[in-house]
Amino acid sequence: MNTLTKLVERARGPLGAPVELDFGAGLPGELGALLSELNGFALFNYGVQVFHAGPSGLGPELGAWNAPDTWKDTYGDLADGLLCFAQDLFGVQFAIEQGRRVVTFDSETGERENVGPDLDSWAGWLLEQPDVRGVRSFATVWQDTHGALGHDERLLPVKPFVLGGEYEVDNLVVRDAVTAMRIRGQLARQLRDLPDGTPISFVIT
């Protein structure tokens, strides 16, 4: 049994109707096979959400989520070349970069971190530290206190984490996932290439 299969065994889903997807070879093909098996799902008490494909389903739809005018336009070219297929509780995106590797995309800064060459590596990376990388503990605490999040909702810090905001309940609000990404995109564009400590003006428009 590979690591991706172990991860899927922990999933709650599907979030979408059954589909048969062919995204070609390589990593996109792996994603198509995964969603053909389980079309969208949640992990770690909804700390991680994998998007469904097709018009019928709960939460973000893969194609619509990756459309430029959904939220990527607010990042300029920071999100270019990414096929975002999942996100965590705080809007960190899990993405296939240029069809070659899986990366994380920090929604507040636009920075990318290499996770591995395939979805099995991504699954192993999550399972190594589910409370941190999968946000399992915080997702559990939040929902035990405030109730379950909607499928289209994520948590947005009042004071962004990159500007010193705390990972605390009092610093977080529930927002529609698209709205939250568009807010973060404005921040990421201001922070781009700035040295640490540079004053910025963070205005939500």
Does 201 map to a domain? no
Does 200 map to a domain? no
The pLDDT of 52-78, averaged and rounded, is: 97
Does 199 map to a domain? no
The pLDDT of 189-201, averaged and rounded, is: 72
pTM beyond 0.85: the answer is: yes
pLDDT value at residue 103: 98
Please state, in angstroms and as integers, the Cα–Cα distance from residue 26 to each residue in 18, 66, 121, 122, 130, following that order. 22, 19, 14, 15, 26
CA atoms of 32 and 174, how far apart (whole Å): 30
Domain range for 107 is 3-191
Does 203 map to a domain? no
The answer to whether residue 4 scores a pLDDT higher than 90 is: yes
Does 34 map to a domain? yes
- Domains identified in the chain, total number: 1
Other Cβ atoms within 10 Å of 8 Cβ, number: 17
CA atoms of 175 and 12, how far apart (whole Å): 22
- Per-residue confidence at 205, pLDDT binned at 50, 70, 90? very low
